[in-house]
Amino acid sequence: MQRRLRVWDLPTRLFHWSLAACVVGAVVSVNIGGNAVGWHFRFGYAILALLLFRVVWGFAGSRYARFASFPPSLGAALRHLRAPSAASAPPGHNPLGALSVYAMLLALAVQAGTGLFANDAIMWDGPLKNLVSNAASDALTRVHKINRFVVIALVLLHIGAIAFHRLARGHRLVGAMVRGDALIDPADGAPPEAARDDAALRVRALVALVACAALVWALVSLGGKTGGGF
C-alpha cells in the first residue's frame, strides 16, 4: 500500500507556481503591447527575484529542493528514459527533470538578465541600458528576442514531460507539486527521508525572498527608470 511522503516544501511549491504565472504574464503582456508592456517589465523583475531566490534555496532549502539532491547528469537522464514504465519514481526531481530544471533556470536567467539592458528602439528601454553602449544594448536585445523562443520551447517540453510521466509511467507530478507529497511504495525498500517543511524553514524562505526582491529593486533603481522585462 502506497503512503505519502513530504517532498516539496511550501516555499518550493510557491516558487514553482509563481514563476509559471510570471512567465505566462510576461509573454502575454508583451504580445498585447501598448501600456501592457509596463506589466511585462514588472513580471520580468519578479522572475529575476524568483530566480535569485531559487539559487539561494538550492543551498538553504529542504532536502529535495537542494541542488545537491539532483545533480545534472545526461547519462542518468538517458537511463531514466530507458527504465521500464513500472519503475517507481525517486523522490524529488528525477534525472531527466533535473536537466529540465537547470536548463529552465539558465534560459530564464539569460532572458531576465538581457532584458535589463534591452531596448525596443521606440520608447521602452531596460533600466540598465544607459550603463552599456548602444551597440551592446542592441546585441543584448537580439539575444533577448531569440532566447524567448528557447524559454517557450523549454516550457512546452516541460509540459510534455509531465504528460509523459502521467500517461506512460503513472506518476502524478503535478499533484505532488500542489500538495507537496509524493506517493511511495514501502515495498521498494526503506522509506526515503521526508523533506523538512516547518515554520522555521518557511520564515527562512521569506527572509531570503525579501532579500532577493530588495536586491532586484536596487539593481533596477540603479538605472533610474522603468524598463527591462521579458
Q: What CATH number is given to the structural domain containing 170? A: 1.20.950
Q: Do 34 and 223 contact (CB within 8 A), yes or no? A: no
Whether residue 230 lies inside any domain: the answer is: no
Q: Do 95 and 79 contact (CB within 8 A), yes or no? A: yes
Whether residue 210 lies inside any domain: the answer is: yes
Q: Do 148 and 111 contact (CB within 8 A), yes or no? A: yes
Q: Do 100 and 157 contact (CB within 8 A), yes or no? A: yes
Of the candidates 71, 59, 63, 65, the one whose C-alpha atom is nearest the C-alpha of residue 15 is 65
Nearest-10 Cα torsion for 110, 147, 107, 229: 50
Q: Do 107 and 140 contact (CB within 8 A), yes or no? A: no
Number of domains in the chain: 1
- pLDDT value for 184: 80
Whether residue 168 lies inside any domain: the answer is: yes
Q: Which residues pair with 181 in a beta bridge?
A: 6
Whole-angstrom CA distances from 83 to 24, 87, 94, 186, 191 are 33, 7, 12, 20, 21
Which residue range(s) make up the domain with 47?
3-81+89-223
Phi, psi at 211, each rounded to 5°:
-65, -40
Whether residue 167 lies inside any domain: the answer is: yes
pLDDT tens-digit profile, the chain (230 residues): 678 899 999 999 999 999 999 999 999 999 998 888 899 999 999 999 999 999 999 999 999 999 999 999 999 888 877 876 655 566 888 888 899 999 999 999 999 999 999 998 777 899 999 999 999 999 999 999 999 999 999 999 999 888 877 777 667 788 889 999 988 876 666 678 999 999 999 999 999 999 999 999 999 998 765 444 44
- pLDDT value for 98: 92
- pLDDT value for 227: 45
Q: Where are the beta strands (DSSP E) in the chain?
A: 3-6, 181-184
Residue that has been written with the C-alpha cell 539558465 in this structure: 106
Q: Do 11 and 69 contact (CB within 8 A), yes or no? A: no
Q: Do 225 and 35 contact (CB within 8 A), yes or no? A: no
Whether residue 136 lies inside any domain: the answer is: yes
Whole-angstrom CA distances from 140 to 109, 117, 132 are 13, 7, 10
Whether residue 93 lies inside any domain: the answer is: yes
Whether residue 228 lies inside any domain: the answer is: no
- pLDDT value for 111: 97
pTM confidence score: 0.90
Half-sphere exposure of 36 (CA within 13 A, CB side): 9
